[in-house]
């Protein structure tokens, strides 16, 4: 492009950075960012967010955090997806205090956590290795203020036929009807996994049964979920 006399624009720079980053060339992606600034293109939030996401997925949480701070320092407001990327990076390396502070800062920035935000935290709670980590993850879920948390806290003890649990799940999924199916699938998978690993296999089975009826279709195999639904 340059050899033919054309200059890249903001979008082109972003695409090149993304390709380099996904191929593992993060330093080169940063070099493109610096070139963009030298050419007097003003990087916007998606460009900074891309670098946060790339470094976070590469496992370099400190670098992701620095780019997040750099975004704030130039008075750019991150979106929820960028916050989710950084949150996911913190959770992967068990930096729970940083995750907590990030969630608090989202509220101060006027950002409401997405369904995916809560799904990340529920997965962290499910995978917690200590009671302290689980308690902390539960606190993180509370901080989000997301309706899913109220749904989980108000889950009834299953009656012999499990109908009260199915009704509870059905009402919740009806409330979530406007959400895209992929997001709901991710959440339902996380909920089922949480209850299954907590030993509440009957509840997990009821959740899957209602989700299947409502065309959500969790990723886990039908046979596995049918086994969970069987009385033990």
For residue 128, count other CB atoms closer than 10 A to its CB: 18
Cα separation of 15 and 11, whole Å?
A: 6
Here the tokens at position 75 are 């008075």
Residues ≥6 apart with Cβ < 8 Å to 56: 64, 85, 86, 88, 89
Nearest Cα to Cα of residue 71 among 95, 47, 36, 102 = 47
Please tell me the predicted confidence (pLDDT) of residue 161. Answer: 93
Question: What CA dihedral angle connects 7, 78, 185 and 94, to 10 degrees?
Answer: 110
- Contact at 8 Å (CB) between 49 and 85? yes
Residue keyed to tokens 């493109």: 32
The gap between the terminal CA atoms of the chain, to the nearest Å, is: 66
Cα separation of 123 and 145, whole Å?
A: 17
pLDDT by position in tens, the chain (length 232): 666 666 777 788 888 988 998 888 899 999 988 988 888 787 888 899 999 999 999 999 999 999 999 999 999 999 999 999 999 999 999 999 999 999 999 989 999 988 899 999 999 999 988 888 888 988 999 988 888 999 999 999 999 999 999 999 999 999 887 677 788 888 999 999 999 999 999 999 999 999 988 888 745 445 455 454 555 5
Question: What CA dihedral angle connects 46, 27, 90 and 59, to 10 degrees?
Answer: 130
Please tell me the predicted confidence (pLDDT) of residue 109. Answer: 92
Burial group, residue 4, by CB count within 10 angstroms (0-12, 13-18, 19+): exposed
- Contact at 8 Å (CB) between 94 and 133? yes
């Amino acid at each position: 492009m340059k050899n033919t006399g054309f200059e890249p624009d903001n979008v082109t720079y972003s695409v090149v950075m993304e390709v380099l980053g996904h191929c593992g060339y993060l330093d080169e992606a940063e070099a493109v960012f610096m070139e963009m600034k030298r050419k007097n293109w003003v990087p916007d939030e998606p460009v900074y967010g891309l670098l946060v996401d790339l470094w976070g997925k590469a496992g370099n949480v400190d670098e992701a955090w620095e780019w997040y701070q750099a975004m704030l320092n130039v008075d750019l407001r991150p979106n929820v997806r960028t916050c989710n990327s950084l949150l996911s990076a913190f959770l992967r390396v068990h930096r729970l205090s940083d995750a907590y502070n990030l969630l608090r800062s989202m509220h101060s920035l006027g950002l409401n956590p997405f369904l995916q935000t809560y799904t990340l935290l529920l997965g962290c709670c499910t995978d917690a290795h200590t009671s302290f980590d689980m308690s902390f993850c539960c606190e993180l879920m509370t901080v989000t203020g997301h309706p899913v948390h109220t749904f989980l806290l108000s889950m009834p003890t299953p009656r012999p036929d499990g109908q009260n649990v199915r009704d509870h799940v059905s009402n919740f999924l009806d409330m979530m009807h406007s959400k895209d199916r992929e997001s709901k699938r991710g959440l339902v998978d996380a909920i089922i996994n949480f209850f299954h690993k907590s030993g509440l296999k009957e509840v997990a089975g009821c959740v899957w049964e209602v989700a299947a009826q409502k065309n959500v279709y969790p990723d886990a195999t039908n046979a596995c979920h049918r086994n969970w639904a069987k009385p033990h």
